[in-house]
Amino acid sequence: MTTKVRTRFAPSPTGFLHIGGARTTLYSWLFARRHGGDFVLRIEDTDEVRSTGDSVTAILDSIKWLGLNWDEGPIDENTDKGPYAPYYQMKRVHIYRQYLDQLVKESKAYRCYCTKEELDEMRRIAQLEKRPPRYDGRCRSLSDSQRAAAEAAGKKFSIRFKMPVEGATLVDDKIRGMVSFENKLLQDLVIWKTTDGPTYNFCCVIDDHLMEISHVIRGDEHLSNTPSQVQIYLALGWTPPVFAHLSMIMGSDGSKLSKRHGATSVLEYRDQGYLPHTMRNYLALLGWSNAASQQLFTDEDLIAQFNLEGCQKSPATFDTVKLQWMNGEYIRATPVDRLIELAKPFLEKAGLLGLPGPDLKKVIALEHEKIKLLSDIPALIEFFYKPVEIAPKAMEKVLKAPGAKQVLLDLADALKDFSPFEDKALEARIRKFVEEKALKAGQVFHPLRVAVTGRQEGPTLFLMLEIMGRDQVVSRLRDAASKIA
């Protein structure tokens, strides 16, 4: 086994990359980067029924969007990079078969002829007897003649690994400490299916060894697989890697994270307008912390500080309120030019690119402090570029107030030749207009805002007017007045 740190993320392409998988990817990436090692991506597509090319694409797109570059692995659905290619398990079946033959030859694995119905019956009886539902080993010691008879009868077989029946299998987990599994409670697991293909537990052992993986960092749902995998390592004469099983991620109500708590797919967060850096920072804190309980990190901070000792055993809670707060913090820290680039997909979808109107940079800078998600931006700025649609509530409450229509018409006349059309000068002129008409400020400011934006709330009034420009402001004042019954 190599002394160089080599970690891996090995998803099954049966769906999107979810939050738990994204955190595993991040922790494996951070650990490798901190120790100057390699991060490997491997596709574990042994589930022939559920694995799809679309899922592979979605997983690769998710990891790319998160900004977690891998040193070895698939470039796309058909191409790999790295010295241990291929990195798709179903392209490595010939490799697994060699080790399968070795285990069978050494009587460390055997053919099992049990049908699905027989296995279901075993589970049913075990449940009735309040025993763990496990394979009872009935094919473990079949004679040559019994095997020949089964095959003569046309029975299909799987191949099971012989687990030890006495003692315990110890797993020295970097997060959970020493975990002991009683061998008598474990079953002889299937390592080769009746469909003549390998199983996950068998493949991952062989791949992790041949790819020289030093540390296996993964979710705690894999902890129960680990004793069987450790025994396969030992049966093949190999040293197991270091294991670290991450805590579960829970929803805010204390139940396992699911769609009812919000999006579970990484790409959904991209589509909602979260920044990749936000997701990296937030996911890092889902089960890990440093001594200072720091909340906001640069990537350099995370790489320098991340360690397995800081990972907690207890479940982490996914909090969308905190995630959105963090995203707002990072958006406010993002230069406007960069923010425009990041927001382009959302602006394009809203039809706001290429329209005549004020400088986009000035408009977004005006609302920068309010933005929590990239997807917020179109709704905040669209009135600068699209015809004003006055909200019904604003029309009834503000524009239909006594005298509002005349205020808009008089204000349009007052501003039609006004110069310089800049925020400080505009504020002074409009406040003077209030005095001249013997009105309260709200009787002018509120109709003015609604007339030019269609809304009762919005950005700083006078700077907004400056950016919008005199012609558009005057035109909108008169247009709004014409709509008041």
Each residue of 427-452: pLDDT tens digit?
999 999 999 999 999 999 999 999 99
Question: Which pLDDT value is given to residue 77?
Answer: 76
Give the active site residues: 259
Q: Which CATH superfamily is domain 93-246 in?
A: HUPs (3.40.50.620)
**Domain positions in the chain:** 1-75+247-333, 93-246, 335-382, 387-485
Could you read off the pLDDT of 379-391 as tens digits, one per residue?
999 999 999 999 9
- CATH placement of domain 1-75+247-333: 3.40.50.620
The predicted structure's pLDDT at residue 261? 66
217 pLDDT above the threshold of 90: yes
Give the fold, CATH level 3, of 387-485.
Arc Repressor Mutant, subunit A (1.10.10)
Q: Is-same-fold flag (93-246; 387-485)?
A: no
Tell me, what's the pLDDT at 447? 97
Instruction: Please report the pLDDT score of residue 1 as a whole number.
Output: 45
- pLDDT, average across residues 310-320: 94
Backbone dihedral angles phi then psi of residue 417, each to the nearest 5 degrees = -120, 10
- Cα–Cα distance, 185 to 127 (Å, whole number): 14
Mean pLDDT calculated for residue range 33-52 = 94
